[in-house]
Homo-oligomer: A and B are copies of this chain.
Amino acid sequence: MMPKDAYDALIKEVREIAILRSCGELLGWDEHTYMPAGAAEHRGNQSALIARLCHERFTSQKMGDLLAAVAGSDLVKDRHSDAGANVAELKRNFDRQTKLPSSLVEEQARTAVLSQQTWAEARKKNEFSLFAPFLKKTMDLKRQEAQCVGFKEHIYDALLDDYEMNETATGVRKVFESLRDELVQLVGKIAGSTKKAPVEVLERKYPRELQEKFAVQAAKAIGFDFHGGRLDVTVHPFCSSPGAGDTRMTTRYDENYFGDAFFSVLHEAGHALYEQGLNKTDHFGEPIAQSVSLGIHESQSRMWENLVGRSRSFWKHFFPKAKAVFGDIIKDVSEEQWVFAVNDVRPSFIRTEADEVTYNLHVLIRFEMELAILTEELSIKDVPDAWNEKYKKYLGITPPDDARGCMQDVHWSAGLVGYFPTYTLGNLYSAQFFEKAGQDLGDLNAMFAKGEFMPLLHWLRKNIHSQGSRYTPRELGKKVTGQDLQAQPLLHHLKKKAAELYGV
């Protein structure tokens, strides 16, 4: 078979698998939005079937043959051409998936179900000992997975690579270490400041309809396309894209707190803008029209949530609109109070509720814990103590129990090991991209203050979204910013804001 014919057949097959997978994506969205409770068991069967059919087709002999037929041909010589990037990324996924014996995949799936059930119970009862055997089993299986996949340097690399292509433990550690001490110091300074954010202005009664109206207004203003998307309500906010022209985000409304829904909408809208900016019209299902990594995805959500949405200039434009929507509720609140309130910094136990500064320390703790557990430097029984020590050391607080400590997140019970670093990688990339966008576009704050968000969006579209998986995350960062991944832009941003608001 000629390489060109093999490539065409490969893309045809990949596209069909992607369409099938997108049906599974809709099943997932529906499961969390509108599915009646009685359908849960059947939905499990549907999702499992779609996942199996996709896996079977993606790891088939046919795929292997087609990939082999194009390998080394002129067509794929340029790693960053359409064909070169597509084939490289497909080959990487094919190798990973075919290296895993189906017995291991099945055992992981089975363990994940039991482990999540047990985790939920253990968390409720606050009994780590219940969860411990499942955490041990999960980590054992992850070690087996890493051995099957293979790695050059650190066992962690084989797992991390699944979420962040080509990233390594060494690479993460290097950049995280330059972040850690500075953050710890900053948190300490802020805690010592006499200035306190007036968070009570956010804790008033905000009717759901008004919150929704205002959030939709903001999502539209930053460019979310409702013609090709929706906003619905779920227990946990998420963004899902069940097809070309179809990107759906969800949020939840707390009528006694403004911040929850609004910032989660900005966050999910950031993910959604990335999905809406991928070239799915022409290349649906091909890697060049798919997001490249969780870290880069998170860089988009965190940029709109924090760098844009918590900026003074954003509220210069939006606070008068908030006043118009919420009327008497915030009649007595000044813009200055509002901006300070949405930028409150204080150490807390739960990562998902953490502010912009302390958030990364939660992530660093997970990363250090995962490394220690995987390499068996830390035994499972010692996890709670080690966890609590780190919280004391980095955040100055000690979790009152393991439910609010090492059992707070679903990730470990779900087998998501090597996943946490992508949250902070996202924050790092977001600051680095944002700094470069400012250099390229001029005064972003002046634009935001006038409600002009399209220059930034178009810059992201051109430099990041439209690239899909053409480059590895690190390559993309370098190509866009001219710099290696680094902590400085994020630290600069956080320190500058702390100086302004807390005077530290």
Contacts and interface: CB of A to CB of B under 8 A. Distances in A.
14 contacts: A19-B45, A23-B23, A23-B49, A33-B34, A34-B230, A36-B245, A37-B228, A38-B225, A38-B229, A38-B245, A39-B243, A39-B244, A39-B246, A53-B53
A36 B228 contact: yes
A319 interface: no
A412 B241 CA distance: 35
Given A19-B45, A23-B27, A39-B228, 6 more contacts: A36-B227, A36-B229, A36-B230, A38-B246, A39-B246, A41-B244
A30 B20 CA distance: 16
A43 B19 CA distance: 9
B46 A23 contact: yes
Contacts of A24: 23
Interface in A40-63: 40-43, 45-46, 49-50, 53
A77 B22 CA distance: 43
Interface residues of A, number: 39
Interface of A: 16, 19-20, 22-24, 26-27, 30, 33-43, 45-46, 49-50, 53, 225-230, 232, 242-246, 248, 284
Contact of A49 (B20, B229, B246): B20
A35 to B, nearest CB: 7
Nearest to A243: B42
- The 6 closest A-B CB pairs, nearest first, are A38-B228, A39-B246, A38-B245, A42-B243, A42-B244, A39-B245
B27 A246 contact: no
Given A30-B26, A227-B36, A49 B244 contact: no
A41 B246 CA distance: 10
A36 B244 contact: no
A39 to B, nearest CB: 3
A161 B200 CA distance: 69
Contacts of A33: 34
A323 B143 CA distance: 67
A150 to B, nearest CB: 34
Nearest to A225: B38
Contacts of A53: 20, 53
Given A23-B27, A37-B227, A229-B36, A245 B42 contact: yes
A22 B40 CA distance: 14
Nearest to A246: B39
Contacts of A37: 227-228
A342 to B, nearest CB: 30
Nearest to A33: B34
Contacts of A248: 36
A241 to B, nearest CB: 10
Nearest to A39: B246
Contacts of A30: 26, 30
Nearest to A43: B243
A53 B22 CA distance: 15
A243 B39 CA distance: 7
Contacts of A243: 39, 42-43, 45-46
A19 B229 CA distance: 27
Contacts of A20: 49-50, 53
A271 to B, nearest CB: 16
Contact of A19 (B19, B49, B227, B242): B49
Contact of A34 (B27, B34, B228): B34
Contacts of A227: 36-38
A232 B232 CA distance: 14
A226 B38 CA distance: 9
A368 B141 CA distance: 68
Contacts of A40: 245
- Most B Cβ at <10 Å: residue of A16, A27, A36: A36
A24 B242 CA distance: 13
A226 B39 contact: no
A30 to B, nearest CB: 6
A50 B54 CA distance: 13
